A and B are shown apart, each in its own frame.
Chain A
Amino acid sequence: MPVFEEDPAQLSKSRLKSDLVAHNVTLPTEKSKKDVYVGLYLKHIDAKNAADFSSDEEDQVVNQGHVVACHQEDTPKEKPSAVDMLDVNGLTDDELKASLLKHGLNAGPIVASTRALYERRLLKILQSNMPSEPTVNGAGDANAYSDSEEEGDEEGKDEDSDSNDSRQEDILTLELPPENDKQPEQPKWELCTPKNESAYYTPNASYKQTEGLTVVPTRLYPSAVPILTGITATCRRPIKGAAGRPVLYKYPDAPPTSPMTLERREVDARLVPVYAQVLVFLAIACLLYLVYACMEENPYHPLLPLLDGLSEALESQEEGPVGLAHPGDPADTPVDL
């Protein structure tokens, strides 16, 4: 991760904590002042940067002097909370999920990007179990996972609350999983990284979003109902030809088995009912038959005069030859058998 030359004092307390954890520095107690974190940050992280960047000598000298002053302010308090933080970080994904389930939180898949969220939740639950007053952070949680605009506001609130130095709702830990995977997974399957990168890589954008997350102080939500789980999940509509593009089926011949397509088919079928089609067909068929039946008598009418004409012509032809032979017919034609 590239570290820019920033004044650590300008960073928020949560950012300092996360950076310290990323550099494997043991965190001071929960209620330490910001200066302690700044001191540790400068001591460890700037020392590392000095090894990489030779141009930071001036800053290093100034910071070391500052570090000496800061260390005198160390006040160890509440060691059990520090132990809790370390324990949560050391849990595997499965153990984390099991412990969340034990406390009544049905967590989703625990991946690199979601692990930080679930660790925070577990710590909140543990913290709420230990002291007498319960932390009312259910509504705050929902806000913490919303747009980045709200996170900027929360960061400002966090810096204001540092001066009060009495909050239990501050961000407890924020583990940034390192690029090289170190999570202890099941021994059966080895982690293979063909590109020498972690399979649990998370994009930088998600880091930037989660770094500034803080829990909203309870005073803003005095009427909030205490919810331990605080998870509200809504079903998402399925993607149908997103971005205005038509849905292209690669295998149009394959019979779709989803209930949605079947419903669509039924609806299409009902637009033109089958029995109506049959009735219309029968009506037209009857009409045609009637027309044909009427037409059966017609041929005689136009043809009759023709027949009459033919018969007259035949008679006129027959009279000629028939007239000569006609009187002799009875005599010439003896009835011989």
Chain B
Amino acid sequence: MSSTTQKHRDFVSEPMAKKKVTALAGIGDALGKRLEDKGFDKADKVLGHFLMLGKDEGRFKCWLKDTCGANSRQQDHCYRCLREWCDSFL
């Protein structure tokens, strides 16, 4: 299992409150800007979509790729970050 990044640990360690989309692991400035243009300006909106897709890995990664053009590593980081957050707080 690969080690987690600092960004991942920071996100998963507490409720996301009103964090921006760029606080998600794997989502940097460029991807964050694209997500915001689509209307996902906060991390909780991406969480909402993640839950709507049934927390399914394949669907979420595909959606992320289509929406902001994330590569497979970024998709994986984001998915694991959100999944762990859900396991801790939902």
**Cross-chain contact A111 with B9 (CB below 8 angstroms):** no
Whether a CB of chain A sits under 8 angstroms from the CB of B53 is yes
What separation, in Å, do the CA atoms of A93 and B17 have in the docked complex?
28
**Cross-chain contact B63 with A199 (CB below 8 angstroms):** yes
| In the complex, chain B residues whose CB is within 8 Å of the CB of A232 | none
Q: Please name 20 further chain A to chain B contacts, defined as beta carbons within 8 Å, in addition to the given A235-B18, A251-B13, sorted by A numbering.
A: A107-B39, A108-B45, A109-B38, A109-B45, A191-B66, A195-B59, A197-B59, A199-B62, A203-B52, A236-B44, A239-B15, A239-B89, A249-B13, A250-B84, A250-B88, A251-B9, A256-B13, A256-B14, A258-B14, A258-B17
Whether a CB of chain A sits under 8 angstroms from the CB of B40 is yes
Cβ < 8 Å to A, chain B residues 37-57: 38-40, 44-45, 49, 52-54
Whether a CB of chain B sits under 8 angstroms from the CB of A145 is no
| In the complex, chain A residues whose CB is within 8 Å of the CB of B16 | 238
How many A-B pairs fall under 8 Å by CB?
A: 84
Whether a CB of chain B sits under 8 angstroms from the CB of A194 is yes
What separation, in Å, do the CA atoms of A200 and B18 have in the docked complex?
25
Return B50 CB to nearest CB of chain A, in Å: 12
Number of interface residues of A (CB under 8 A): 41
Stretch among A78-86, A240-248, A302-310 lining the B interface: A240-248
With CB as the reference atom, state the residue of chain B lying closest to A235: B18
Q: Give chain B's interface secondary structure class.
A: helix
**Cross-chain contact A97 with B39 (CB below 8 angstroms):** yes
**Cross-chain contact A192 with B62 (CB below 8 angstroms):** yes
**Cross-chain contact A188 with B69 (CB below 8 angstroms):** yes
Whether a CB of chain B sits under 8 angstroms from the CB of A201 is yes
| In the complex, chain B residues whose CB is within 8 Å of the CB of A193 | 62
Return A225 CB to nearest CB of chain B, in Å: 26
**Cross-chain contact B53 with A201 (CB below 8 angstroms):** yes
Whether a CB of chain A sits under 8 angstroms from the CB of B12 is yes
**Cross-chain contact A251 with B12 (CB below 8 angstroms):** yes
| In the complex, chain B residues whose CB is within 8 Å of the CB of A248 | 88
Given contacts A199-B62, A260-B17, contact A242 B89 (CB under 8 A): yes
**Cross-chain contact B10 with A257 (CB below 8 angstroms):** yes
With CB as the reference atom, state the residue of chain B lying closest to A243: B90
Return A257 CB to nearest CB of chain B, in Å: 7
